[in-house]
Chains A and B, each alone.
Chain A
Amino acid sequence: MNTRTILTPATNAMDSLRHELDRLYDRVTTPALASSWPTRIFDSMRSHPAVNLLEDDDNLYFEAELPGVEGADLDIRASDRTITVSGCRTVDTPDDATTLRHERSTLRFERTMRLPVDVESDAIDARLESGVLTITLPKGKPARSRRVAVRNA
């Protein structure tokens, strides 16, 4: 019996292509990206890891998906206006194993991002949970919105 046919992905090459196009379509149809569309696509192909940046009144949140990466393999550096995340993950091939399919990449990555506002670089917090890295960057004082009370004369 030919064991090579045992684990055949039910998805085929067209599904794979469709997936890539879906992800691309997300980017193209995301209003935030539409204005700078062509360069963004190629930027993100070069840049690992891909980053989503979120914001609330007090913080920026830098998020990246890094499955299989451990905290010890990560190096995070920040200044007031930039953050750099670098590291690696290794994909171990089990001993005495034949590789039937290889889609996950061995990843060495480095990403520097310029931040939209100043942050307090000495108060940054990073969490890695289920392969998702979330770095909380407290906004510097001038960047926070403040409610100004009006005094009666």
Chain B
Amino acid sequence: MTNNTTNQNTTTNFFDSNIDTETIKRTQNYRAPVDVYETEGAFRVIADMPGTSSEKIAISVEDNMLTIDAEVLDRYAAFGKLRHQEYGVGDFHRSFRIGDGIDADCITASYRDGVLELTLPKSQALKPRKIDIKAA
């Protein structure tokens, strides 16, 4: 007797079929939702990317394109069967056009609780400048 047959009458349809977890992780990329904020000195990009780790996130700037790629760990390999699925699991990808206004060498990033946070400092050209008036 397998577990499949232990379902009782009260069980609704969607519990009835089992899928091999090996097929679950998608080869496609998912688009992570982001918030973007601008402050006086920097832009901040905050992205929901659950299920990855800081070592698996690649952030690059090339030809004025900021690209974020996050490899999601194949966390279902250790489990048995998927009984019920409402979301797909796959790697995350987002890219943004950035102008010359960002100091690409000074971008910083942190990853915590499944949320990636980038700080992109503005280059001097974009920062509001305060012009000192010299005393005569």
Using a CB–CB cutoff of 8 Å, the interface residues on chain A facing chain B are: 1, 3, 5-11, 15-16, 19, 22-23, 26-27, 30-33, 35-36, 40, 44, 47, 50-57, 60-61, 65-70, 91, 93-94, 96-105, 114, 116-117, 128, 130-132, 142-145
Contact = CB atoms under 8 A, between A and B. Distances in A.
Interface of B: 1-3, 6-8, 10-19, 21, 26, 28, 30-31, 33-40, 43-53, 65-66, 75-76, 79-89, 94-99, 101-102, 111, 113-115, 120, 122, 125-126
A148 to B, nearest CB: 9
B50 A55 contact: no
A58 to B, nearest CB: 9
A54 B126 contact: no
B81 A54 contact: yes
Given A3-B101, A55-B3, A143-B3, A68 B80 contact: no
Contacts, number: 208
A5 B14 contact: no
Contacts of A51: 84, 86
